[in-house]
């Protein structure tokens, strides 16, 4: 009631009103993970994280959206999903009026103010504003597919691709548009669909004022600035207008077959 925070961390100065919060916080310094999974080697800092992990073993999805019936094993996923219905965009840019539903989208937008692309691929020179995008890109060169389906032999280079594949086992279409009732098995497809209602065009050209509702449309536009062939091989002088063709071409250097 007084706003007093008597419990303080000696490592970093963090303060809290509750001793239990300080105990939890201290684990970020000590690395202690007291909550153990009894089915595998996983351990967690918080009980809530362990509960979410255990749900993966059982296939349980206890968190449900009351608007459309979407279910998930994690509260954070449900919170993100609910924004497709509410339109809430809590992440605000401090340099313009832009706001976003997710922090990673705001981070991507902020880079447009600085023009900064600090993450570069050593194989082909590809640059990006996000470390996770570079990690995804590197799988083009390595062929790595870390995301495995637990129902068949399918594996994918990106989690979103695995999520799309998993829907093929269930036939489920959990993502619904609150405006017109359109349903889909892919979150990314619903996001694209919603732009028909909102008119949003999040993909901006960094060389002119053009913007697009889809990345593929922006890629086509960018080709007009680069003589139609923006995708370049870092191993030889090959250039192409399509990313897919570059991926296929790179296999001639790695020795991988279709």
DSSP 195-258: HHHH----EE-SSSS-EESSHHHHHHHHGGGTTT--EE-SSSS-EES-HHHHHHHHHHHH----
pTM: 0.31
Q: Residue 75 in contact with residue 83, Cβ under 8 Å?
A: no
What's the confidence (pLDDT) of residue 256?
A: 59
Domain termination site, one of 153, 169, 200: 200
Q: Which residue has the tokens 């153990």?
A: 36
Q: How many domains does the chain have?
A: 2
Q: Strand pairing partners for 35?
A: 44
- Domain assignment of residue 258, yes or no: yes
Q: How far apart are CA 134 and CA 132, in angstroms?
A: 5
Average pLDDT over residues 232-248: 79
Residue 185 and residue 230 in one domain = no
Provide φ and ψ at 121, rounded to 5°. Answer: -85, 125
Domain containing 257 equals 208-258
The confidence band for 114, taking pLDDT boundaries of 50, 70 and 90, is low
| CA pseudo-torsion sign 118, 119, 125, 128 | negative
Average pLDDT over residues 45-72: 78
Tokens encoding 157: 């280079």
Residue 188 and residue 221 in one domain = no
- Domain assignment of residue 35, yes or no: no
**For 142-151, how does the pLDDT look when each residue is reduced to its tens digit (9 = 90+)?**
888 888 887 7
Q: Which residue has the tokens 């922090």?
A: 103
Mean pLDDT computed over every residue of the chain: 80
Query: Helix, strand, or coil here: 147?
Result: strand
Average pLDDT over residues 16-23: 85
Q: In this model, does residue 258 exceed pLDDT 60?
A: no
Q: In this model, does residue 18 exceed pLDDT 80?
A: yes
The confidence band for 196, taking pLDDT boundaries of 50, 70 and 90, is confident
Highest mean pLDDT among 74-83, 109-118, 170-179: 74-83
The enclosing domain of 171 has a CATH number of 3.30.160.60
Domain termination site, one of 180, 200, 220: 200
What's the confidence (pLDDT) of residue 2?
A: 57
- Domain assignment of residue 174, yes or no: yes
- Domain assignment of residue 233, yes or no: yes
End-to-end CA distance of the chain: 66
Residue 212 and residue 253 in one domain = yes
Domain termination site, one of 200, 219, 234: 200
- Domain assignment of residue 247, yes or no: yes
The confidence band for 231, taking pLDDT boundaries of 50, 70 and 90, is confident
What's the confidence (pLDDT) of residue 257?
A: 55
- Domain assignment of residue 150, yes or no: yes
Average pLDDT over residues 76-91: 82
What's the confidence (pLDDT) of residue 89?
A: 85
Provide φ and ψ at 52, rounded to 5°. Answer: -65, -40
174 vs 101, more confident: 101
Residue 190 and residue 163 in one domain = yes
Residue 179 and residue 220 in one domain = no
257 vs 59, more confident: 59
- Domain assignment of residue 155, yes or no: yes
Say what percent of the chain tops pLDDT 70: 94
Query: Helix, strand, or coil here: 132?
Result: helix
- Domain assignment of residue 185, yes or no: yes
Q: How far apart are CA 86 and CA 241, in angstroms?
A: 38
Task: 154-159: list long-range contacts, CB under 8 Å, 24+ apart.
Answer: none
């Amino acid at each position: 009631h007084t706003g007093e925070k008597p419990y303080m961390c000696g490592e970093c100065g963090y303060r809290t009103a509750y001793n239990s919060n300080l105990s939890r916080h201290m684990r970020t310094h000590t690395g202690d993970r007291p909550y153990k999974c009894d089915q595998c080697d996983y351990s967690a800092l918080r009980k809530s994280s362990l509960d979410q992990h255990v749900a993966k073993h059982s296939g349980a999805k206890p968190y449900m959206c009351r608007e459309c019936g979407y279910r998930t094993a994690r509260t954070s996923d449900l919170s993100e999903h609910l924004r497709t219905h509410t339109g809430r965009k809590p992440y605000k840019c401090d340099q313009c009026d832009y706001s976003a539903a997710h922090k990673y989208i705001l981070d991507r937008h902020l880079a447009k103010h600085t023009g900064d692309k600090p993450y570069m691929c050593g194989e082909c020179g590809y640059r990006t504003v996000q470390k996770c995008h570079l990690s995804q890109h590197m799988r083009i060169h390595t062929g790595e597919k870390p995301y495995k389906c637990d129902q068949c032999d399918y594996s994918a280079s990106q989690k979103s691709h695995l999520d799309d594949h998993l829907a093929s086992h269930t036939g489920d279409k959990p993502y619904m548009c609150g405006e017109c009732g359109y349903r889909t098995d892919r979150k990314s497809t619903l996001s694209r669909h919603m732009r028909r209602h909102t008119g949003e065009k999040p993909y901006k050209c960094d060389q002119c004022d053009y913007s697009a509702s889809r990345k593929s449309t922006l890629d086509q536009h960018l080709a007009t600035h680069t003589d139609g062939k923006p995708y370049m091989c870092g191993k030889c002088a090959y250039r192409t207008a399509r990313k897919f063709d570059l991926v296929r071409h790179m296999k001639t250097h790695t020795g991988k077959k279709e």
